[in-house]
Structure 1
Amino acid sequence: MSDEKKGGQEPLSGVDRAAILLMSLGEQEASTVLKHMGAREVQKIGNSMASLSGVSRDQVNQVLDAFITSVEEKTSLGVGSDDYVRRVMQEALGDKASNMIDRILLGRDSKGLESLKWMDARSVADMIRQEHPQIIAIVLSYLDSDQAAEILSLLPERARPDVVMRIATLDGIPPSALSELDDVIQRQSTGSENVKSSSVGGVRTAAEILNLVDGLTEQGVLDAVRKSNEGLSQRIQDEMFVFENLADIDDRGIQTILREVQTDLLVVALKGADQTVKDKLMKNMSRRAAEMLNEDLEAKGPVRLAEVEAAQKEILGAVRNLADQGQIELGGKGDEYV
């Protein structure tokens, strides 16, 4: 947080200004805006919302300027911030909000390994890049898959396959060892929650992380793992759920997914999808909705492969969340994904 937020002279950061604006708009309007942001952006703004206190009128004027009248009527800055964040996140993200709310509100007081869950991915990568690959594997296994994937992408390319192999073959560690690692991280981050579980790692964890990295990184890691251990590579791939696997989900599950995914995101993702997936999705839309989607696809110009992959990854993240909540079953992968 900048010093100005605490009463100093440094300017507010962009994230802080966005948080002040959203908290001034009101819950409904703020949640509408948040729906159009990515998960990481929502988390950063949510962290700032949760930590705002004692915001002066001058600071509000700097952010809103011409909208001061509206701010005076609606501002709730520093009043019930935690409740505000919970309500806005719940409205914006629905069932997906729970983990993020915990990250934001509980993360502020976390230390050690737990503190890494709400740190910037690049900061975590810088902290652990010089550690032994086994330590890196344990840390990434402990984090949420989306964050671990981003950190993995920031590690040296030569280190990624070794780390993923170690994650895939990790079968838990003694609580004492995890506690010792927790102490090390606490000292490095100067910022521990008690370690609650030593059940980290495994093939599925490796697969979930690779599901969320970019396509080039994913293929490079899998190729390197295959050269070293073909059986392990195949087991990881067997656990991975890719965009084409949407065709294996039953109709009810597809309908649930469609309610969670924005049309604009779906259009980009389908630019790189095979016809089987397109047919599966359109079959579960109304005729008019399917026609509109087809029109959008035809009108959409060329899209960079990286954008298509990013859109598909985001949709797959939503799909896995629905599966974890028991709202859908991922077909073609076995009961362990239910």
Structure 2
Amino acid sequence: MPDAAEMMDTPTKPAIEGSAAAAILLMLLDENEAATILKHLAPDEVRQLAKAMFDTANASEQQIGQALDRFVVRSRDVSALAIGADVRIRTVINQAVGNVRADNILAAVAPQRSAASLEILRWMDVEAISGLLAQEHPQVGALILSVLVPDVAARAIETLDEILQADLVLRAAMLTSVPAAAIEDLESVLASANVDGQRVAKQAIGGPSDVAKIMKKMPKSLSERTIRALKKTDKALAQAIEEEMFIFENLRDLDKKSLGSVLRSVDAAQLAVALKGADDDMVDLCLATMSKRASETIRDEMAEMTMVKRADVDDAQKTVMTIVRQMAASGDIMIAGGGDDYV
């Protein structure tokens, strides 16, 4: 039996990271089997795994063992019902009610699958996407813009003409669902990528929320210019996008001084209603910027409230955010954003 000194000298076995473990498991599989698995992953996941596979090419026996152990442990949490569930469910419903009725039922209840054309966009580089946005009809461009990851969309739109930028943002913000005909137009645009044509159900994409995420990734000057142009066309829509760009939850991103400045400008009763809909951490964060007396007053008002309508909470929070945007516009506070220097 080793003595205490020897036990202390024994190095602790380092835990292997998830991506490294997955990479090792893929490399242990047959090439065709590994390729089949990768086909079901998103572009970013494939890129991450590809890098991890290079990094773990010289994995030790110990690391391989850790990866296998991790796989076994995680596999215990996977329900046997989940394996091949989609195919089994569709087969059962088809046999029970026939193909036509089954299609109608499954179209309403089955998880939606992205059209192949929308998926292929996620694999294209920014320059190619930007070229598509510049060449194609703005409605097709708006669909492309809405499907992309926000930071990719922001970079793709950055080099476009100012008028086209505003038009694309307007159209993307007005999207709610996409008919099959629009998907078919996009499929024809991407025909060179060998996308299989197929009619698909309407998909909920786009809208002010998605556009706001894109705008936050843009440099400050570009986002401000685009919002100004959008206001000339649809002021209400531009305001909706601005509201989505910085929501009540994002108060966490303000520094303590800025947050305190904002909250001191809000009516105490209205702030109490706004915080009534926030979690305890947010309440503590906000009240920590105030004097002891002021914070106690707010807490007392919140305690005296019973049931508060969600609509009243939303209105109070919007009022707070209106003050945030006014103070940001006047330069009194700085709002952190995802772009180069968005305030």
Q: TM-score of the superposition, structure 1-length normalised?
A: 0.44
Structure of higher CA gyration radius: 2
Q: TM-score of the superposition, structure 2-length normalised?
A: 0.44
